[in-house]
Amino acid sequence: MDLLPIFLDINNEPCLVVGGGPIALRKLQNLRRAGARVRLVSPELVPELAASVEEDAAITWYQRRFDDEDLLDIRLAIAATDDRAVNRRIAALAKAARVPVNVADQPEDCSFIMPSVIDRSPVVVAVSTGTASPVLARMIRARLESLVPAGYGRLAELCARYRDRVKERFERQRDRRRFWDRVLQGGVAERVFSGHLKEADAHMERELAAGGNPTDMGEVYLVGAGPGDPDLLTFRALRLMQQADVVVYDRLVGKPIIDMVRRDAEHVYVGKQRNQHTMRQEEINKLLAQLAKEGKRVLRLKGGDPFIFGRGGEEIDTLAAEGVPFQVVPGITAANGCACYAGIPLTHRAYAQSVTFVTGHLKDGTINLNWRQLAEPHQTIVFYMGLVGLPVIVDKLIEHGVAPDMPIALVQQGTTHMQKVYPATLKTILARVEEDPPEPPTLIIVGDVVNLRDKLDWFTTIPDREQGATTPLLPGD
């Protein structure tokens, strides 16, 4: 370890910044976030820095060049001028006075460096490469950003509020550590992350009352896995996938996403196809409740969004009736994902002022929809699960007044490397499908916006995670 990583308390302490450009501004902003009182020395200031001086009483500007006496009674100094010789002189004087000094872009003159920071106050993560590559440090920080939710600051505040009570409740350090391990990886933390702070406090009180003995009840996470591309998962979805004990999933969730679930988690496949159910929906509902009652953290992974034709509402009905705690994590629904990757905007001021999501078949297997409403102009209609009923959809729309030359597009396995788009009209789509049958799942989009796909000269590249390559999608593919 070349450098000692420390966190320095400079709250209300005098710190010096020499320089008036963008780098000085960035350094000054970091000092102010830590509560420092800043003495700023520079003959001139860029407008943004001048505005900060005007607005912040904790910044004092000395409109002149650096003077040796500027280092008197200073806790920390930063040299950020555009003159390397001046910066080097400031660094030498600061070191002689035992004042920590940072010099912008001159690591050899620094006595300390300022790392890339992930700020979730009071939680702060600092990343440094020891001056070897600041760009690499920023890249690492960007990756860590996805692993450290914004709610960690709120979680730390909750820990601070309960720290003394936990010490009173558990005499042995080992018991306290086990208690905090469970709290910080369980229901309390997840409620904090989702912004349900009152529920988090109530859950914390129950944990304390239980005396450190975990309850038998687990929890169910209804997580939207998106339309197929793993890059479309939310940060929260990924976090819950990594901590689940068992995952319950169906055929709309692809292998690349399943591979991101915690490796030692139990896998339960409950895939359903038309008239072919591995497990009936009522049985899935009961299974989720049963697994949670066994004390397991259950990940119910659903393609798209759980509440848009994902039957998530039916599942939480059962969980609520059984007294099982649950969370719902929204996902990018197939309509948004597939339309975007196919280059079709669902709304456009000139062509569609509304968009309607419709299921292609009802519970009894029929397609008995409000065709009069669906035939209204200036809208986009998206049919889920409508491939089998496509002939009926086409006939009914034309029968209720939709022009036979209305654009339609079928998007096969959208957002994946198997995506294929079938643009046509209501009059021609059946012939095209008969000639080249698409593979489910296939989304159907009807409306004038389909024509914009060619006009936008769309180009999308989808990662091919099976082959390690990429698939370019051009208009007409």
How many other CB atoms are there within 10 angstroms of residue 140's CB atom? 16
Under the banding of pLDDT at 50, 70 and 90, the label for residue 66 is very high
Dmax of the chain from CA atoms? 89
DSSP classification of residue 68? G
Instruction: Return the minimum-mean-pLDDT range out of 73-87, 265-279, 318-332, 378-392.
Output: 265-279
Q: State residue 477's pLDDT score.
A: 40
| Residue % of the chain over a pLDDT of 70 | 91
- Judge whether 164 counts as a catalytic residue: no
How far, in Å, CA of 89 to CA of 436, rounded? 75
Which position among 109, 229, 250, 302 bears the catalytic label? Answer: 250
Mean pLDDT value across residues 215-221: 80
Mean pLDDT value across residues 175-204: 85
Alpha carbon separation from 259 to 239, 265, 268, 270, 278 (Å, rounded) = 14, 11, 14, 17, 21
Mean pLDDT of the chain: 88
Stronger pLDDT, 212 or 359, i.e. the higher one: 359
Q: H or E stretch including 432?
A: helix 429-435
How far, in Å, CA of 308 to CA of 357, rounded? 9
How far, in Å, CA of 222 to CA of 366, rounded? 28
Copy the structure tokens of residue 343: 């280059």
Please work out, in degrees rounded to the nearest 5, the angle formed at the alpha carbon of residue 64 by the alpha carbons of 61 and 70: 70
- Judge whether 56 counts as a catalytic residue: no
Contact 285, 315 (CB under 8 A): yes
In which residue are the tokens 């009152």 written?
A: 198
Q: Is 150 annotated as a binding residue?
A: no
Q: State residue 365's pLDDT score.
A: 58
How far, in Å, CA of 431 to CA of 310, rounded? 30
CATH topology of domain 216-332: Cobalt-precorrin-4 Transmethylase; domain 1 (3.40.1010)
Residue 403 makes CB contacts below 8 A (sequence gap 6+) with 426
Domain ranges of the chain: 14-114, 216-332, 335-473
Q: Is 401 annotated as a binding residue?
A: no
- Give the DSSP letter string of 274-339: TTEESS-HHHHHHHHHHHHHTT-EEEEEESB-TTSSS-HHHHHHHHHHHT--EEEE----HHHHHH
How far, in Å, CA of 294 to CA of 304, rounded? 28
Q: State residue 475's pLDDT score.
A: 36
Q: Is 468 annotated as a binding residue?
A: no
How far, in Å, CA of 60 to CA of 121, rounded? 26
- Residue 141's nearest CA partner among 115, 116, 113, 114 is 116
Stronger pLDDT, 456 or 151, i.e. the higher one: 151
Q: Is 295 annotated as a binding residue?
A: no
Mean pLDDT value across residues 15-35: 95
Contact 374, 475 (CB under 8 A): no
Q: State residue 469's pLDDT score.
A: 39
Q: Is the pLDDT of residue 242 over 90?
A: no
Copy the structure tokens of residue 468: 């390690």
Q: State residue 321's pLDDT score.
A: 94
CATH topology of domain 335-473: 3.30.950
C-beta contacts of 103-111 below 8 A and 24+ residues apart: 103/78, 103/79, 104/19, 104/23, 104/24, 104/27, 104/78, 104/79, 104/80, 105/23, 106/79, 107/131, 109/79
Q: Is 385 annotated as a binding residue?
A: yes
Q: Is 212 annotated as a binding residue?
A: no
DSSP classification of residue 348? B
Q: Is 35 annotated as a binding residue?
A: no
Q: Is 227 annotated as a binding residue?
A: yes
CATH topology of domain 14-114: Rossmann fold (3.40.50)
- Residue 306's nearest CA partner among 355, 380, 253 is 253
Q: State residue 123's pLDDT score.
A: 87
Contact 82, 42 (CB under 8 A): no
Mean pLDDT value across residues 191-205: 87
Which position among 95, 272, 286, 293 bears the catalytic label? Answer: 272
Q: State residue 468's pLDDT score.
A: 41
Q: Is the pLDDT of residue 147 over 80?
A: no
Q: Is 333 annotated as a binding residue?
A: yes
Q: State residue 379's pLDDT score.
A: 96
Q: State residue 5's pLDDT score.
A: 87
Stronger pLDDT, 225 or 472, i.e. the higher one: 225
- Give the DSSP letter string of 205-248: HHHHHTTT---S--EEEEEE-BSS-GGG--HHHHHHHHH-SEEE
Q: State residue 474's pLDDT score.
A: 39
Q: Is the dihedral of CA 249, 251, 255, 257 positive or negative?
A: negative
How far, in Å, CA of 213 to CA of 207, rounded? 8
How far, in Å, CA of 116 to CA of 135, rounded? 9
Mean pLDDT value across residues 225-241: 91
- Residue 306's nearest CA partner among 343, 333, 325 is 333
Q: Is the pLDDT of residue 164 over 80?
A: yes
